[in-house]
Structure 1
Amino acid sequence: MKTLFVAIVSLFTLSATYAQTWSVDKAHSRVGFTLTHNLLSDVDGNFKTFDAKITSSKADLSDAVFELSADVNSINTDNERRDGHLKSPDFFDAAKFPALTFKSTSFKKVEGKQYKLVGDLTMHGVTKPVTLNVVMAGPVAMKGMGGKEQEKAGFKASGTIKRSDFSVGTIPVVVVSDEIELKVNGEFTRQDAALAEKK
């Protein structure tokens, strides 16, 4: 019984040691998208106000859980009139559904630095599972501002969703494409443990 107790305590201590939280560096990250207008040209946009974090119990982030939220009212396509239309009930209805969120349910390595990220995307009051392709860089230790050593990691996620799956807009697809390409870049910094504590 004593041996079992020691084993449980050791396992708990090990898990606590490697529990990690990573926060997004917003100055070096972007939550973007691309749609096609009139079947002719691509229009790029992004959400200027967003937040994201990663939690993981493994040092290599192979079991990472991603959480992201974005303010729909911060949508930006470099055109005020278009942005206003996208916020209206014709599309996102930002007054009624002011945020979109994503939380991962699976993060699996494909090969090398490539991963498959699966999670629940909630947008316009609708939640659907989505799958994204991810390229991970790091984790790597480097000196930040002030010379303090930090652990950082970078992620590039991409995938395609259909706005009709989320009831976003009734505009015909010949005007605005149904398929929307997601392009999310994130740089994250480990928050809850100094590198020195690992040595």
Structure 2
Amino acid sequence: MNVRHFMPALLVATLGTVALPAAAQQKLLPAQSSISFEIRQMGVPVQGHFKKFDAQINFDAAKLAASKVHFTVDIASTTLGAPEMDAELPKPTWFNTAKFPQAQFTSSAFKSLGGGKYEVSGKLAIKGQSQDVTVPLTMTQAGAATTVSGVLPIKRLAFRIGEGDWADTSMVADDVQVRFKLALSGVGKL
């Protein structure tokens, strides 16, 4: 091969091995995130939270139709902060974690409401029951971090949480407020 043909071939080979920067992968930052809930037991508010959760995220504010999120919560990581209550939660009457170890949310559509506010619609599955839900959320950015926060009201009985005697809503209210604050990396400009 003469020099005239060698140089273009070398240039093509060299450029083919140069790593171009990839688009930033969007990730949940669990250590900076939280999911909590509030129930009322005999009229008294009781706080709980989930210790383990994860998400696969593909969000682009300019391409909402292509944006997706799949969120999983390890239900066995639920705590109410009292050992005797925490021991009851995995049982079949409540979460039945042996049969249903995860709760999941899978998005179907995002909608911008302006000013960093969005709605994401999708399916929420808990304890073998699925419901269509619309989750209102607010997104803010500071540097490379994006924070997503909101409150999702659900009815526990729609997901069979608290069966038998515990289905009595005078003991434990049906309304549950799920609060989330999720820190994300790799999200583009809102």
The two structures have a TM-score, normalised by structure 1, of 0.75
Q: Unpaired runs of 5+ in structure 1? A: 1-16, 143-150, 194-199
Q: In the comparison of the two structures, how many residue pairs are matched?
A: 165
| Structure 1 residue 189 corresponds to structure 2 residue 182 | no
Distance in 1 separating the partners of 2:58 and 2:169: 38
1:167 to 160, 164, 168: 160
Aligned partner of 1:29 in structure 2 is: 33
Distance in 1 separating the partners of 2:62 and 2:49: 29
1:29-83 deviations in Å (ceiling 9; x for gaps): 0111111110x21111111011113113x36574532221111111011011111
The 5 A counterparts of 1:92-111 are: 92-111=95-114
**Greater mean deviation of Cα atoms: 96-105 or 20-29:** 20-29
- Answer whether contact 2:27 2:186 (CA < 8 A) is retained: yes
Distance in 1 separating the partners of 2:62 and 2:44: 40
Distance in 1 separating the partners of 2:132 and 2:23: 26
SS in 1 for 2:170: coil
SS in 1 for 2:26: strand
SS in 1 for 2:88: helix
Compute the displacement of 1:119 (Å): 1.3
Distance in 2 separating the partners of 1:128 and 1:188: 26
Return closer, same or farther for 1:181/1:190 CA change in 2, 3 Å cut-off.
same
Compute the displacement of 1:20 (Å): 5.9
Query: Structure 1: which amino acid aligns with 2:28?
Result: V
Q: Unpaired runs of 5+ in structure 2? A: 1-20
Query: Structure 2: which amino acid aligns with 1:156?
Result: S
- Answer whether contact 1:124 1:168 (CA < 8 A) is retained: yes
1:141-164 deviations in Å (ceiling 9; x for gaps): x3xxxxxxxx32110021211111
Distance in 2 separating the partners of 1:41 and 1:61: 43
Compute the displacement of 1:109 (Å): 1.2
Distance in 1 separating the partners of 2:145 and 2:32: 12
* Structure number with larger C-alpha Rg: 2
Aligned-residue sequence identity (percent) comes to 26
SS in 1 for 2:96: coil
The two structures have a TM-score, normalised by structure 2, of 0.79
The 5 A counterparts of 1:109-188 are: 109-138=112-141, 140=142, 142=143, 151-170=144-163, 171=166, 172-188=168-184
1:14-34 deviations in Å (ceiling 9; x for gaps): xxx997641111111011111
- Answer whether contact 1:108 1:117 (CA < 8 A) is retained: yes
